[in-house]
Every structure is written in structure tokens, then in C-alpha cells.
Amino acid sequence: MDKKRNISSQNMIQRFPQIKLDRIDPVVQQLLELLPIYSCIALEGEMGSGKTTLAMALLKGLGIQHTEGSPTFNIVQPYPLDENKVLYHIDAYRINNEKEALELGFEELFEENAYFIVEWPEKITNFLPERRISLLLESTLESRRNYTLVYGN
């Protein structure tokens, strides 16, 4: 089943323009408020746009003090949360195709009752939950970003 996302009038869109990388608290706070409703946050943006910086801020906002950084080489980094729940930080950058993602167990992983932060979600779109938050990060001026949240359905 193709789970590609269509932006429709039923989706909510929130924009946070020209935010400095060290001032992303409003974006993080909004994501933390939405996380219990949407278990997956897909971080979209070019290399160096701040996806990992945002993911680390989210993990800290969830009370995780010791983070491993971006899981670029091991692809998935689990973080235990309270209430027997796990958050998986996924960096899909090195995944080459859907077959490889299937072999790595992404189909089963996304069936777990867990939370997910996904960098490079376009590499594994068909495995992501349809009901998710997409966050587009766009580099603008020096160390500033535009953040656009899309969620709904």
C-alpha cells in the first residue's frame, strides 16, 4: 500500500519563519504537544538544514539527557521513555531503496506502539504511518530556518 502523503485542505499547516537554530523552542514545544496524537515526526530538508539539531532538541524535551546524535551509520537509535514506550530516531539517509528498508525490518518497526523521529523520510515513505507530522526545514539566512509543520487527517 502506498502511504505517500497528499497535502489537502484537511491538513493543518503551521509556519515558523526565520527561526535561529538556537531558538527553536517554539517549534519543539509544538511538536511535543502533537506527539501523543501523532506518533511519527518526519523531518524533511536538505543536508545541513538542522534536522539532527531539531531531533536532539526533541529528545531533550522528552527528558532524554544522553543522546547519541544522528544514527547515520546504525540507521536506528532507540530511546526508552516512561510508560514502557520507546522512541526510535531513524536516519534513513543511507537507505538506497525500498527492498533494503524492508530487509532492515522497517515494516515491522513502524507497527510497534512507539514514537518515531525520522530524518530523510522520503527514502522510506511507504513504511511511514499515514497519520504523521511532516516538518519541512528550509535554510534561509545565516543560521536561520523556516519550519513548516503539516499534520492532520
Domain spans, the chain = 37-136
110 beta partners? none
CATH number of 37-136: 3.40.50.300
pLDDT band at 38 (very low <50, low <70, confident <90, very high): very high
40 beta partners? 116
CA–CA separation, 123 and 134 (whole Å): 14
Model pLDDT for residues 65-76, shown as the tens digit of each residue:
887 766 666 799
Query: For the whole model, what pTM was predicted?
Result: 0.85
- Give DSSP secondary structure letters for the chain: --------TTEEEEEEEEEEGGG-HHHHHHHHHHTTT-SEEEEE--TTSSHHHHHHHHHHHTT--S-----TTTSEEEEE-STT-EEEEEEGGG--SHHHHHHTTHHHHTTSS-EEEEESGGGSGGGS-SS-EEEEEEE-STTEEEEEEEEE-
pLDDT band at 2 (very low <50, low <70, confident <90, very high): very low
Q: What is the pLDDT of residue 5?
A: 43
pLDDT band at 4 (very low <50, low <70, confident <90, very high): very low
